[in-house]
Chain A
Amino acid sequence: MSAGDGRGDGRGGGLPEEDLAAWALDAVDEDERAAVEEHLRTSPAVRREADALRATASRLAGDVPPPPGLRERLLAEVARTPQERPGDELPAASPVPAAPAAAGEQEDPAPVVDLRERSRRRRGWATGPLVAVAASVAVAVAGVATAVDARRDAADARAVAAAERRDAEQARRVADLLGSPAARVVTVAATGGGTATVVTDGTSAAVLAAGMPDVGAGREYQLWLVEGDALRSAGTMLPGDAEGGVRFVADLAGAGGVGISVEPAGGSEQPTTTPVVVAPLPGA
C-alpha cells in the first residue's frame, strides 16, 4: 500500500455509487466495475445517471479522422465476420456460421489427444502433490462454470450449451492427465495477477489459468509454446474463461516452455504484447 492510501482504500466499504464517475471514465478495476454494474442492474435511476456520465465522458476526446485506408480494410473484414444474434428464436435466415463465443475454440490449432487411454493404463500412480493440484483443478473448473453463467445473457444459448459440454470434458481430461505417473506440475504467477499451472506428462499438457484478470471484450489470452527461439500458437482462451480457463496442448513436440499473452480476439500469428506468463515446461 502506498503512503497515500492511509485512510483505507474503500474496498468493501463505500457504495458502488461512489465509483460511478470512475466507472464512466473506465478508471475502475475489475472488482469495482463488477460492483457498479451489478448496482446499475438493480437501480434504474442510478443507471440513467450512469448513462449520462458515460455520454459525458464519450465527448471528452474530440474527433480525429482515421487514416483513409482503414475504412476499406474494415469493411472487407466486416463482410466475413458473423454477428451475434440476440436469441435463438430468430429465424435462421442468414447463414451465420457460428456464435462468436465459440469462434476461438473452432480455430484451435492443437487437436486434443485421448489422455484417458494413457492414464487408464497407469491408474493408481497418482501421488501426494497431485492431490492438491486436483483440488485446484476443481476450483478452476468451477470458475469456468461461473464465467459461462456470466456471459449467458450475451451469448447465443447454443454456444453456451456447447461451452458447458466442453468444460465438463476439460475437467475429465485434466483429471486423467493428472493420473499419469509421468505427470509434472509447475505453477507460475502471471504479471497482472493470477496464476498459470502447467500439468504435463512430457507429451501433452494442460494449462490452467486461474484468477487472471478479464482482458476485456474482443481480446483473449493466447497460449504459446516456446520452441527454441520460435513461438508456436497453441490456441486462445476466451475472455470469459480467464478465471479458471483451461487449454490443452496435444503435442508438445520438444517445446521447452509455455507463454500466455493478451491478443485480439481470434489470436495472433505471433505475440503482439509482452507475455503475462512465461513458464518452463517441467521436466523438459
Chain B
Amino acid sequence: MGLVTAPRPEVPPGGSPEDDLVAAAGGDQEAFARFYDATAAAVHGTVLRVLRDPAQSEEVVQEVFLEVWRTAARFDAARGSARAWAVTVAHRRAVDRVRSAQAGAARDDRAARREPDPYDSVSEEVEVLLEHDEVRRALAALSPVQREAVDLAYFGGCTQREVAERLDLPLGTVKSRLREALFRLRDALGVRA
C-alpha cells in the first residue's frame, strides 16, 4: 500500500482511551481492541447492574461495543471521557432492553410489574461486588429516599414517572430527589462541569 508516512498518529500501546477511540474512528482495529480492554469492565458492570442476567448482559455488551465501533467518529472529547461515553451508550441500551421486555410482558401497570423481582437476591450480592469504594461512599452519603430513587431510576431502568408511581409520590418530588441526589454524587465524586 502507498501509505508510507501518512500523518496517521502512532498510537502507542497504553495510549489513553480517548486516543484509542479517535484512532478506532479512523478504522484502527488494534486501537479499538485497546479501547475495549480499558473500558469493557465498566461497560459490562453497568449493563449487568441493570439487566442482572449474565447471558443477556454479554449480548448487550457486544452490541454496545459494535455501536461504539460504528459510531466512534461521533465521540466528542470536549463533552467527557471516552469511558463515560461508552458507559452512557451501554446504560441507554440496557435500559431500552429492560423497557422493551416490559412492554412485551404487559402494557398496564408497568412499574408495578417490576415489583416481585426474581433477581433481587442476586442483586444484593452483585451490588457488593460492583461498587468501588469511592462510589460506595458517595452513594452512602445519599439519604435513604434519594438512594431509593436513584436505584430505581438508574439501576432499575424506571422512568421518573414510573419511580413516582412506584413510590406513590408526586412526580415533582421525584424530580427534585433525583436532582439533589445526582448533584450530591457529582460533588462527592469530584466530577467537574
Contacts and interface: CB of A to CB of B under 8 A. Distances in A.
Given A53-B182, A84-B73, A276-B104, A65 B40 contact: yes
A57 interface: yes
B89 A217 contact: yes
A55 B64 CA distance: 17
A50 to B, nearest CB: 9
A21 B153 CA distance: 10
Interface in B30-56: 32-33, 36-37, 40-46, 48-50, 54
Contacts of B43: 66
A25 B182 contact: yes
Contacts of B87: 58-59, 61
Contact of B84 (A29, A58, A85, A100): A58
A89 interface: no
A88 to B, nearest CB: 13
A216 B93 contact: yes
B45 A192 contact: no
B91 A26 contact: yes
Nearest to B44: A66
A84 B62 CA distance: 18
A51 B104 CA distance: 32
B153 A27 contact: yes
Interface string A149-186: 00000100000000000000000000000000000000
Contact of B170 (A6, A22, A215, A216): A6
Contact of B67 (A3, A47, A218): A218
Contact of B159 (A29, A67, A94, A275): A29
A252 B45 CA distance: 44
A56 B87 CA distance: 11
Contact of B65 (A20, A74, A273): A74
A5 B36 contact: no
B172 A7 contact: yes
A215 B57 CA distance: 18
Given A4-B169, A60-B139, A78-B66, A52 B41 contact: no
A73 B100 contact: no
A73 B81 CA distance: 25
B23 interface: no
Nearest to B92: A26
Given A21-B178, A25-B150, A54-B84, A74 B104 contact: no
A261 B104 CA distance: 9
A58 B46 CA distance: 8
A21 B29 CA distance: 35
A70 interface: yes
A72 to B, nearest CB: 10
Interface of A: 2-10, 14, 18-22, 24-29, 32, 47-49, 51-67, 70-71, 73-75, 77-79, 81-86, 94, 100, 154, 191-192, 215-219, 261-262, 264-265, 273-276
29 contacts: A5-B171, A6-B170, A20-B179, A22-B179, A26-B95, A26-B154, A52-B186, A52-B192, A53-B186, A55-B186, A55-B191, A57-B88, A58-B84, A60-B139, A60-B185, A61-B49, A61-B50, A62-B130, A70-B62, A75-B29, A77-B62, A77-B66, A81-B70, A84-B71, A192-B104, A261-B104, A264-B63, A265-B63, A276-B103
Interface of B: 25, 27, 29, 32-33, 36-37, 40-46, 48-50, 54, 57-59, 61-67, 69-74, 79-81, 83-84, 87-89, 91-93, 95-96, 99-101, 103-107, 126, 129-132, 135, 139, 150, 153-155, 157-161, 163-165, 167-172, 175, 178-179, 181-183, 185-186, 189, 191-193
Given A52-B192, A56-B191, 6 more contacts: A7-B170, A26-B157, A53-B186, A60-B155, A63-B132, A218-B67
